[in-house]
Copies of this chain bind each other. A is one copy, B any other.
Amino acid sequence: MTSPGFVAALVAELGERCRVVTDGDLLASYRQDMATVVPGGLPCAVVLPRTTQDVSAALRLASSYGVAVVPRGAGTSLAGGASAVEGCLVLSTEAMSSIRSLDPLDRVAVVEAGVVNAALDRAAGEHGLMFAPDPSSWEISTVGGNVATNAGGLRCVKYGVTRQSVLGLEVVLADGRVVSTGTRTTKNVAGYDLTGLLVGSEGTLGVITAATVRLSRRPVVPPTTVVAAFASLEAAGEAVALVVARGPEVSLLELLDGTTLRAIDAWKRMGLAGIEAMLVVQVDGRFAGDAAAVASLCEEAGAVDEPAVSTDPQESEELLAVRRLAYPAAEQLGQCLVEDVGVPVSRLPEMIRRIDAAAARHGVTVLTVAHAGDGNLHPTFVFDHGAVGIPAAVAAAADEVFAAALELDGTITGEHGVGVLKAHWLERQVGADSMELHRAVKKAFDPLGIMNPGKLLA
């Protein structure tokens, strides 16, 4: 419960400088993020700071009243990373959306946390550059959220995850102090890598208010797309292995499993009968022969029919359509819990078989797509629209999936983060001693424990 007087003090201090939400209905809209299975608590207030100083003032107040703070970007977390706790202060970065600087020569931009990923990418595009991280939510998610979760995406198979694009951070600690980490240089080994520690810390160590990011060159030629269909998962897995081992560097390498393809076909009638797996691949290098090499490796692995190849942007979009339909097709079937495990690339087929076995054992529908080039799978668990929370059978199947990922030398989360949903699983992956280090690090940054409680650390 919130300390009496906190909301009044917040309004008094910040009400004229930025928006402070205290209206009940509006507050309720900040309960949840996109992990709608997490009910979330009702915040006592939502603050939308406009400056780093506003954030600092809000955190100083929260510290002195002992109020929990839940930082929030666009609220697109699929793990409950931004779900509110009862009586907390939600700190939304949406009003901090300016690109402070963009230097095309050094390929560095300094952006506020609330800048939408796609907006930064567009600004970079004016100089032939790009902001590489491209989570599926990139048109709406914010750089601050991307950084807080170390977001992945489709092209990170070539360009790396968010961490690889972050040179430094501006962060406000729980007590209101503003700390800068990193530099504008590519190489920097002065002191501990606090930048790296904050990337992916899910708002539990402080509020990221700005990031110094590295921009990448935008490919000069549009990508060539290759789509190959397979009659078995094994053949598709073999194709992935061949492409990774012997193929050219790819900028996208997605796998759709049979359950996903059947769901898409049932909805859109795309003639996918008999196809048990599909690969969608892109290359964006300058070698015209690269796409043909990918197609040839897919054939070597036993693709049914000749893979479709297109350099035409319009046609490429049509070939990508099947990948884009995967999630909407799942949503046709019911409520979705989109999960996120990772395994070494060579274990992909085995991991999908383990997912299917868990689904069958618990009578749950699970559709799996994978960023196959990175061994990162999204098994999507489907259940009744009417259900509140995660049904027991789904939870049991998901737990088996997490256990299988760990058995196969993998991870319980490749890009979504631990959030609330997997906080009770983290120790199984990292072990008790590492958990103790986690808690000690948390305490070093946030001794009162007010930052995003219940996330990452259970």
Residues of A in contact with B (beta carbons under 8 Å apart): 103-108, 149-150, 152, 156, 160-161, 163-164, 173, 177-181, 183-194, 196-197, 199-201, 217, 241, 244-245, 249, 286-287, 342-346, 371, 374-376, 409-418, 422, 426, 429-431, 433-434, 437-438, 440-441, 443-445, 456
Whether the Cβ atoms of A161 and B187 lie closer than 8 Å is yes
A434 to chain B, nearest CB (A): 5
Residues of B within 8 A of A414 (CB): 185, 187-189
CA distance A412 to B445 in the complex (A): 25
Residues of B within 8 A of A426 (CB): 190-191
Known: A186-B342, A193-B196. 20 other contacts (CB 8 A): A103-B344, A106-B344, A108-B344, A160-B164, A163-B193, A173-B433, A179-B431, A179-B437, A180-B431, A183-B410, A185-B342, A185-B409, A186-B374, A187-B371, A189-B418, A190-B411, A190-B430, A191-B430, A191-B438, A441-B444
From the candidates B104, B186, B196, B444, name the one contacting A437 in the complex (CB within 8 A).
Answer: B444
- Looking at the complex, which one of B152, B187, B433, B441 makes contact with A177 (CB distance below 8 Å)? B433
Rounded to whole Å, the gap between the CB of A409 and the closest CB of chain B is 5
Cβ B375 vs Cβ A186 within 8 A: yes
14 contacts between A and B (CB under 8 A): A105-B345, A177-B433, A178-B433, A179-B434, A180-B431, A183-B410, A184-B409, A185-B375, A189-B415, A190-B418, A192-B201, A194-B434, A196-B197, A443-B444
Nearest CB to that of A197 among chain B residues? B197
B409, A342: Cβ atoms closer than 8 Å = no
Assembled-state Cα–Cα distance A64/B197 (Å)? 30
Identical copies of this chain, number: 2
What B residues does A433 contact at CB under 8 A?
173, 177-179
Q: Do A184 and B344 form a contact, CB below 8 Å, given A197-B192, A197-B196?
A: yes
What is the CB-to-nearest-CB distance from A129 to chain B, in angstroms, rounded to a whole number?
10
A376 — which chain B residues lie within 8 A by C-beta? 185-187
| Contacting residues, chain B, for A161 (C-beta < 8 A) | 187
A342 in contact with B183 (CB, 8 Å):
yes
* A410 contacts across to B, CB distance below 8 A: 183-185
- A201–B189 Cα gap in the complex (Å)? 9
Query: Which residues of B are found within 8 Å of A201, using beta-carbon distances?
Result: 192-193
Q: Which residues of B contact A107 (CB under 8 A)?
A: 244
